[in-house]
Structure 1
Amino acid sequence: MKGGSVAGHVPQILVIDDVPEDIRSLLILLRAQPWRLSLATDARQGYQRAVALRPDLILLDVRMPQMDGFTLGRLLRESPATARIPLIYLTSAGALEERLEGLSLGSVDYVLKSCAPEEVLARICIHLQLAWRELAAPAAGSEQPTDDDSLILRAAMRLINQSLDELPSLAEIARKVGTHDKRLSAIFREHLGTTVFAYVRDARIRRAQELLVDSALSMQDIAELVGFRSACNFTTAFRERQGMTPSQFRQQMRGAPATVLGS
């Protein structure tokens, strides 16, 4: 494959950046390639084009108004139409926590805008080649359309389950998945028949059960990992939900005799 293309197919690259002047040299270089290039100047337009065009690779900025690149990345990851498209963050957001967040969202690369255009082009070619090798073996199952509410719901559920130890506020969760708190609450009630708070509570207990069975962590460590302030609070919430203490649950699952007053 030369220049990241295969016989009979011309790769399409989607660039999403609200200030394309910042990457003018790279855009000139990309337009010189035997590829199709599409440019979106805000995240919502970028999402619409990603779904409509199904590009072979997306270059995405982080710091954009209204919806940032991380929020868009979550939505792209949850949509069956775009989940397998390689995503490269190309941004000036270079703080360690920003780079780690971008990579944790499933991006294949995280490149700072100070990087030479020729190096960005080389990275694009590498990821196009890797993507085509993966797509040579189609994923099992047919692709199903996903409405906006389902997309937001799945993104929120994933975010919650990955952030139980330091859960953002409801408003912040909503912002990170591209909506507002009232709409997110309505989506949870309509699709799951529960509130966001109740979903969080159940997610914490489910994760705690996994840690109790699969690890030897102390009650305090497990409490902190699933978002409780203390082992005492964790034990109280667990007993209310499961009818036994965490220690009794661990002993029962491991086949050991349960004590009457575990903690």
Structure 2
Amino acid sequence: MAESWSFHFDGKHPERRYRSGRVQYHDGPFQGWMEGSELRPGFHLYRINGISTHRYDLAPKGVMQRGSLVLGNMLGGAGCVKTGDAEDQSWRDDRNFFALTPETPVSYHIQPGKTWSTVGVVLEPQTLAELTAGDDLPDLARNAIDGKSRPFSMMRPLDGPATAQLADDLINLNYQGRMGELYRQAKSMEFLARLLDMLDTPVDARALSAREKTRIREARERLLADLRNPPDLHELAHSVGLSAKRLNQGFRAVFGTTVFDHLRDARLDRARQLIAEGIDMPLKQLAWELGYGHPTNFISAYRRRFGISPARHRRDGFPED
């Protein structure tokens, strides 16, 4: 990761430097905090949340290892990312996914008056290879591992709430001390998996052959046949004769969501149906029957999707009922 970051503000304000750990800024044009942490060698998490009265540029100093990959979410604010000869990427207010390869100087140009919130990871190629174990990776990640990366930058709106929720969880860590470290690592690994999944180039449903569409629909039937113990992505893909990458691309094209998100939504929709029908079963058992190892995960997911906890739904019904 970069050895330090520099703030350059419009107007007569001195340059400020951020080096490592968590730094809180209470004075000056920028007020907020920045944090960088090494989760393991070659795998870094950075988080930024703050607002400025003046436009400013934030640029890494020092050298990132060649072939490193930067992935993350912009959760608010407005600005532009410049990455050497790659196309500039802008965002404003909406939540966006971004990816870049820092083969040339990178800088973030942030507009004033809006709270900028972002969560990202920086992966060195060897660590990326170790974490993914030669998986069926998107081309950009594979090129980074193989030493074939080039200056690249992209940004697009998030296509669902799940990744943004993970980023929000990482911005607002609810645990401290050793539990906080474990929580941060677990959430960061899940965040990384989501980001790599989003890195795949979207496929138009019209680009799928009739045979592929048939196999994708068959995969959906197999996925939902047993909500408590469904096949994992690779098992599912193998069972219908597709690669995991192609299956996930096809799911997005045909159903508008990833395999993982489709399964989650199906579980929660089934839970809502059973609760509405008055099923006489403790919520802990219902969560287990639908494939949740921990009831708290089920309750949190249910509340995020429906805006009401399963216990309250059972007691009061939905407002529209």
Normalised to the residue count of structure 2, the TM-score between the two structures is 0.32
| Greater per-residue strand proportion | 2
| Greater per-residue helix proportion | 1
Normalised to the residue count of structure 1, the TM-score between the two structures is 0.39
